[in-house]
Amino acid sequence: MANISILIIPPGETPYPAEIPHTLDSLQSIVGGDIEVLYPFDDPVGVVCNEHGKLFGQPLNRALRDDSGRIYDIIAGTFFIIGLGIDDFESIPDDMLEKYEKLFHNPETFMKINGKLHTIPYDPTTSE
């Protein structure tokens, strides 16, 4: 069984790289259930999350934004970034790992103000 490198993004925490077995069970155990793969980026990567994360009340994690910076979706629960090969998942390349660690580095809190959704990024390593 081969291993695969991914970038895990837990709610309320900074992302971290991991090497896991390249099996469906391993992918599902990270997100806590059935997987769903999103393709919001032009890079050869996928965002793997729990298909029912919002429905099952998993904590809101990070926002996905369009090209103008507007939020169009929020991922609930732990998710990860994985590389995309021609026919299957593959390890995330080092440059993509660094890019997406930076993009999702700070956890976010979500607030609705006057009918508009806002995010407040924060640094989980600082104490209050």
What is the pLDDT at residue 13? 95
**pLDDT tier, 127 (very low <50, low <70, confident <90, very high otherwise):** low
3-state secondary structure 8-72: EECCCCCCEEEEEECCHHHHHHHHCCCEEEECCCCCCEEEEEECCCCCCCCCEEEEEECCCCCEE
The 10s digit of each residue's pLDDT in 49-93 is: 999 999 999 999 999 999 998 889 999 999 999 999 988 999 999
What is the pLDDT at residue 95? 96
Assess whether pLDDT exceeds 60 at residue 39: yes
Closest to 102 (Cα-Cα) out of 73, 56, 51, 62 = 62
The 10s digit of each residue's pLDDT in 89-123 is: 999 999 999 999 999 999 999 988 898 888 888 88
Do residues 71 and 79 touch, judged by C-beta distance below 8 A?
A: no
What is the pLDDT at residue 128? 56
What is the pLDDT at residue 32? 95
